[in-house]
Amino acid sequence: MKKSVRRAVIAGNWKMNKTPAEATALINEMKPLVAGADCDVVLCVPFIDIPAAVQAAKESNIAIGAENVHFKASGAYTGEISAEMLVEAGVQYVVIGHSERRQYFGETDQTVNLRTLAALNAGLKAIVCVGETLEQRELGYTETLLKYQTKMALTNVTAEQLKNVIIAYEPVWAIGTGVTATADQADEGNGFVRAAIAEAYGTDVAETVTVQYGGSMNAKNAEELLAKEHVDGGLIGGASLKAADFATIVAAAK
Ligand code: PGA
């Protein structure tokens, strides 16, 4: 199977930006600009913005995602949000294991796996992030690390459930830095992810999985990145906060 039959997914990751009122305004601005998209369009927003975002995106081709999910169904986990809560609020996607959560909030490969399972069991689509730091890259560990993180995240995920998994390769050194991986580096990293999926599930299954690139993807470099064989979409931080830039990236994905 070739890239052309994998569905491209462009997802914005707003991080800790936009109030609910600002979310409504930005989505209303984006809606007409992305209406003709030839890819799936997702906006992952702060928890508090979800009701406003779901409302604003109604009857459009924009799906709303969350930026994290807890792995337990309910209980004494102050400050956390369950998969069931997200589903009831109209959320369809959730980002899991973003490097900022790994770096600042104690996220581990084990908790990434548990969150992924919880999301999938609730019927959410999981956007699972993997990526190496600059130090790991310079030491030559990129392939080993990407394969390890991918396989750890997918532990006990069935081939059937994998249909609802997107992996986002996000080199940590490229996130929010303005330093984008070259198109070849992105393709290579995404290829390592796909190879890990092939090792775990077989080549035929691996060829069907959407693998995004993320890390300073913007209106200028998106087309070149998205043209690569293994780059099936993007997870977009900074550029997803500007309607015109995000729409340009969406238009570059086919
Ligand atoms: P960036 O963020 O596009 O601002 O680099 C990407 C991400 O963290 O998902």
Q: Which residue's alpha carbon is at the smallest distance from atom 7 of ligand 1?
A: 237
Measured from the Cα of 240, ligand 1's closest atom is: 3
Our CA angle for 226, 129, 27, nearest 5°, is 65
Known catalytic residues are 98, 170
Domains of the chain: residue spans and CATH: 9-252 (3.20.20.70)
pLDDT at residue 3, rounded to an integer: 75
pLDDT at residue 180, rounded to an integer: 86
Q: Which residue's alpha carbon is at the smallest distance from atom 6 of ligand 1?
A: 237
pLDDT (tens digit, 9 = 90+) per residue, 130-141?
A: 999 999 999 999
Spans of the chain below 50 pLDDT: 1
Instruction: Report CA(206)–ligand 1 centroid distance (Å).
Output: 25
Indicate the pTM of the whole model. 0.97
Q: Tell whether ligand 1 has an atom less than 6 A from the beta carbon of residue 236.
A: yes
Single-letter amino acid code for the residue at 114: L
Contact 161, 113 (CB under 8 A): no
Helix extents (H) in the chain: 20-34, 50-57, 83-88, 99-104, 109-121, 134-138, 142-153, 159-162, 183-201, 203-206, 222-226, 243-252
Instruction: Report CA(47)–ligand 1 centroid distance (Å).
Output: 18
Measured from the Cα of 238, ligand 1's closest atom is: 4
Tell me how far CA of residue 129 lies from CA of 40, 55, 126, 173, in angstroms.
18, 27, 9, 14
CA-closest candidate to residue 29, choices 43, 17, 40, 39: 43
pLDDT at residue 233, rounded to an integer: 97
pLDDT at residue 107, rounded to an integer: 98
pLDDT at residue 176, rounded to an integer: 86
